[in-house]
Amino acid sequence: MFFPVPICNGERETKMRKVELPSIDINALTFTSNSKHMASSKLIEAFEDIGFAVVVGHGIGVERLLEMRDLLIRVFDVSDSIKENLTISRDDYRGYIPLGFFSPNEKNARTVTEPDAYEGFKLHWECPENNPVRDECALYGSNKWVKQVDKMSQIVLSYWNDCDRLASTLFQQMAMALDLEQNVFLDFFQEPLTNMTLLHYPVSVSKSRISGIHPHKDISAITILHPDPAGGLEIRTREGEWIEIFCPPEALLVNIGDLMEVWSGGRFISTPHRVFNRGQESRYSAPYFSVPRHSTLVKPLVEYENSFEEREILAGEVSAEVWRTNWLDESPSESGYQLGAIN
């Protein structure tokens, strides 16, 4: 079993238990020895037991991670007028997300709850202008970049490519663990709906209005994140307890999303999580969400005996549905399964 290690944190410990998940050195996956088997086993065990894994030896250098953090600060430091000119719209899910823009709508809810307290910048796979997939699904297009931020596109896309390579390695490991052909998942990611959200959680102005994002599960196959050292990421255990996750500065956090949970027949679990910035400094992050091609019908590829309820999901349709229902003046559709909801 997967045993997290509790961290004693003084007075804060009485409010939220802080937990260090064991770090898994996935560099060993390139070896042909017992260390490869051990690393693979630990990784799969983490995805089965808690849905989250802390990975080191991932091949993304500390310099790249620091470069991305510096970029996040510079992006959100530009003037409000510049950001507002790049605001997302109903027709283009790319660009600036103003503070408090989205509401944590719940499944089948008819009332709007208080919006999340973060600002963001939404980016999707950079689709070539002449690619015919643009005519097949409105979620494909070109990203908006902040011209006033030096080398924004180069820095983001370099990090994006690093995450693509890491995701490919992880997909191969999960495929083999499921006794599937090694590249079965990779075949779904030609012309993907993979996306990234640059996030800024400002310092909270009051105890009753803490910045963050509501409890949710990710609409992805896997999510890759370099957590902010300030902390604030909390996950819900199977027993219903919320715990804060600690991650070493050189490590990345990888978690299972709803799509991989479906593919694995429920063997790999998509775990509810949330973010709170309770500190006195701004919090920044840039989660990478791997999502397959819009036409991919996601369904169980294996049978697994547990309480998992089998379902099929068309990647493009569910992505568009969640986009539509994020708006403050709309309630979620009752037409089908809503990914990311807390059941």
Answer yes or no: is 331 within a domain.
no
For residue 118, the enclosing domain spans 59-325
Answer yes or no: is 2 within a domain.
no
341: pLDDT strictly greater than 50: no
320: pLDDT strictly greater than 60: yes
Please tell me the distance from the alpha carbon of residue 185 to that of residue 6, in angstroms, as a whole number: 34
Sequence letter at residue 144:
K
Q: How confident is the model at residue 32, as a pLDDT? A: 67
257 and 270 Cβ atoms separated by less than 8 Å:
yes
Query: Residue 323, Cβ neighbours under 10 Å: how many?
Result: 16
Answer yes or no: is 143 within a domain.
yes
204 and 278 Cβ atoms separated by less than 8 Å:
yes
3: pLDDT strictly greater than 50: no
* DSSP character at residue 261: H
Q: How confident is the model at residue 238, as a pLDDT? A: 85
Answer yes or no: is 333 within a domain.
no
Q: pLDDT tens for residues 92-115?
A: 889 999 988 876 554 444 444 677
Q: How confident is the model at residue 209, as a pLDDT? A: 67
Answer yes or no: is 288 within a domain.
yes
Q: How confident is the model at residue 103, as a pLDDT? A: 61
Q: pLDDT tens for residues 52-76?
A: 999 999 999 999 999 999 999 999 9
Q: How confident is the model at residue 339, as a pLDDT? A: 41
Answer yes or no: is 178 within a domain.
yes
Query: Rounded to 10 degrees, what is the CA torsion of 305, 307, 311, 315?
Result: -90
Q: List C-alpha distances in Å: 257 to 273, 290, 339.
A: 11, 9, 9
Residue 320, token pair as written in the block = 């568009």
Answer yes or no: is 338 within a domain.
no
Residue 169: which of 64, 53, 299 has the closest Cα? 53
What pTM was estimated for this model as a whole? Answer: 0.89
State mean pLDDT over 227-252. Answer: 91
Answer yes or no: is 29 within a domain.
no
Q: pLDDT tens for residues 269-301?
A: 999 999 998 888 999 999 999 999 999 999 999
Please tell me the distance from the alpha carbon of residue 117 to that of residue 292, in angstroms, as a whole number: 29
Q: How confident is the model at residue 111, as a pLDDT? A: 46
What's the number of domains the chain is made of? 1
pLDDT range class, residue 226, cuts 50, 70, 90: very high
Give the CATH number, domain containing residue 81.
2.60.120.330
165 and 194 Cβ atoms separated by less than 8 Å:
no
